[in-house]
A and B are shown apart, each in its own frame.
Chain A
């Protein structure tokens, strides 16, 4: 369609009295791996759910590839939530059938190859798999799509360093090069090497958006160092202890 892939203008989302997004503005282009970085509770997951259409904002405009969240945007977004979302009775092969039925861009062959490489038996039911294997299956399904936009919510949270490497290499080796990958995380040092651009989010607002190379060049710092600087918490109201 041309133009930016993601456009958010003055987006507000509340949970009761708590404001999760407070007039958030964001524009992202295609063909990049972008880190959505921010401390816990900064609004990362809420933003991803708004982009997905899982949450309806109270105010503001959200456009994905020029369209508001709906059937078209869902057909071009591949979403990895921060928790397992499959019914336990389904076999891995059932999930392949399911994705094949609903997503035109699902590459079943690729998914099967990845399962084979990881020695995952596709005839097993999801409820019989370990937590780690479930997460791997979920990642395989998401990355086997030729999507325009991948929204990955905390893909490396709660896994050991070896598994983090596997997840990141799976993302790097399988994403659609013409699409954009938006990875939300607060584990900066692990993802830094794969990112082209970073978006810092705090209190429901984008506080900084920059190319990773520019940060290194201008600031002479790594993204991790800059993150710690931007989001430094001041204990006990700034008093010494």
Chain B
């Protein structure tokens, strides 16, 4: 049943997001191409200057358009996360979803996974668009970018397996952080629906409340961790002289992954318990 729920969630979001995901890199390429004509020299004829000025105008419009599309993508993604949960479970559509013969955790997991998927794809799309912006830009820019890229690749090949593993863990942590932020919003909305007649306000207050609580807990954990583990803030130079910084990074990454997973589990359990025992579809 979970796979079926995810299928319908993905279907509902694809009609909105696919055009946006296609549009973003296309606008980036157009902006990049328009900027090519902006290279000026001191010995230009008036006609050439006019062309450069015209190209400059086009580039400015394309730049604004690109900025608009990127902002649109970010806003749409945030709206999608909130709307799919709020309208899909806590408003009229909830009458349909909560009368399906599925468990509440499946409804929440389906929403969480599809929202994480959409957010990650949107992030990857924005990075891809920036890459397109660079690849199609003027040769001078392209050459310097190529130099930076080659340097990075060389460093990567020289780096040990721990560094590569850290890189993979870092990407995994980013994905988990996206899921954690989404589940944070879900828990706030689930708590908000308990505030009869003031559900939106209740959700906002819950979001802020949870954020403060998490911030306090995070600070406590960070303090405890810094006492136990050597770190740069306490100038544990002796440690870095004797141990690899990569191993240190690995330890911190694993701890952060553990903490993020813990947060996701807590948010999920809170949301599931509220919607299972205190569901209030008035």
Contact = CB atoms under 8 A, between A and B. Distances in A.
Interface of A: 15-16, 49, 52-56, 71-72, 74-75, 77, 79, 81, 83-87, 89, 98, 101-103
Nearest to A73: B101
A13 B126 CA distance: 49
Interface stretch (B46-54, B213-221, B261-269, B274-282): B274-282
Contact of A56 (B93, B95, B101, B278): B278
A85 B95 contact: yes
Given A55-B279, A86-B93, A71 B12 contact: no
Contacts of B99: 52-54, 74, 77, 79
B277 A102 contact: no
A89 B12 contact: yes
Nearest to A81: B95
13 contacts: A16-B196, A53-B98, A54-B95, A54-B99, A55-B280, A55-B282, A71-B103, A74-B101, A79-B99, A85-B94, A85-B96, A86-B96, A102-B100
B4 interface: yes
Interface string B76-116: 00000000000010001111101111110000000000000
Interface residues of B, number: 25
A54 B279 contact: yes
Contacts, number: 61
Contacts of A86: 93, 96
Contacts of A89: 12, 15
Contacts of B12: 87, 89
B162 interface: no
A132 to B, nearest CB: 18
Nearest to B92: A85
A98 B8 contact: yes
Contacts of A101: 4
Interface in B120-177: none
A43 B275 CA distance: 22
Nearest to B16: A89
B222 interface: no
Contacts of B278: 56
B15 A53 contact: no
Contact of A84 (B92, B94, B102, B196): B92
B181 to A, nearest CB: 25
Given A49-B281, A71-B103, A102-B4, A15 B196 contact: yes
Nearest to A141: B96
Given A55-B279, A55-B281, A102 B102 contact: yes
Nearest to B95: A85
Q: Which 9 A-B pairs have the closest CB atoms?
A: A75-B101, A85-B95, A74-B101, A54-B281, A85-B92, A85-B96, A81-B95, A102-B100, A101-B4
Contacts of B19: none
A56 B277 contact: yes
